[in-house]
Amino acid sequence: MRTAHRSHRSTPPRSAFAGFRFPADVIVLAVRWYLRFGLSYRDVEELLTERGVEVDHVTIHRWVLRFTPLLADAARPCRHAVGSRWQVDETYVKVAGRWRYVCRAIDQFGQVIDVFVSARRDAKAARRFFDQAISATKVTPVEVTTDQAPVYPAVLGELLPAAWHRTDQYANNRVEADHGRLKARLRPMRGLKQDRSARVVLVGHAFVQNLRRGHYELAAEEPFTRRLPVAFDELALAI
């Protein structure tokens, strides 16, 4: 008896946009606009309506929460290596009427290294931030600049005993200036509603900043003004 041989065709991976009412280019455009510009969800809704796309601002909010992490993860293999000299500083954002502590770091090249959101500013939060940043980047810094907050010496002594811990006045000006760009972006939002959405938006903002500054091998040959839209279109194909 002859045995029938069936050909096994590889099934293409399911797109992250499958099942959504709107096409990928509309979703990615809305997410990019929201992360890049000082717009509220209602502002993005209005801009899309002017272009003939009727979509509710609540749907745009869901798109941002769903697709921002996917786009950032897809870009991770293209990210430039993080430098070994870190500037670390904290700022605060309001989430559901309560202040949240946000720890952020940039390297000597101006790349945002990582973002961490916590209800408290204490040694536990600082330790989790450094653990998360080192694990994500696979880089152990040789120099860390912070303010003179008392939580840092013990945490850095435990996690990075060989690193030079700097607390010079004005040494953290670069990361403090970067906080200002984040604050300018958050102002139109009138506060964030949930801790999860706060983390997604804060990480998404850092991701967009790094893309615009050329810290990814994405749309690298494009003019500065075209780098972000071209990169987002490339990433949409990857997810």
- Give the model's pLDDT for residue 176: 78
- Please give the pLDDT value at position 10: 58
pTM for this predicted structure: 0.86
Q: How far apart are CA 116 and CA 21, in angstroms?
A: 33
Per the structure block, which two tokens stand in for 108?
Answer: 């000597």
Nearest to 42 by CA among 58, 31, 66, 53: 58
User: How many C-beta atoms lie closer than 10 Å to residue 14's C-beta?
Assistant: 8
Buried b (16+ CB within 10 A) or exposed e, 174-211: ebeebbeebeebbeebeebeeeebbbbbbbbbbbbbbb
CA distances (Å), origin 59, targets 21, 22, 47, 51, 205: 11, 10, 14, 17, 19
The tens digit of pLDDT for each residue in 54-77 reads: 999 999 999 999 999 999 999 999
Instruction: Determine how β-strand 164-166 pairs with β-strand 98-107.
Output: unpaired
CA-closest candidate to residue 202, choices 88, 78, 115? 115
What confidence tier does 191 reach under pLDDT thresholds 50, 70, 90? low
Q: What is the pLDDT of residues 109-140, one digit of tens each?
A: 999 999 999 998 899 999 999 999 999 999 99
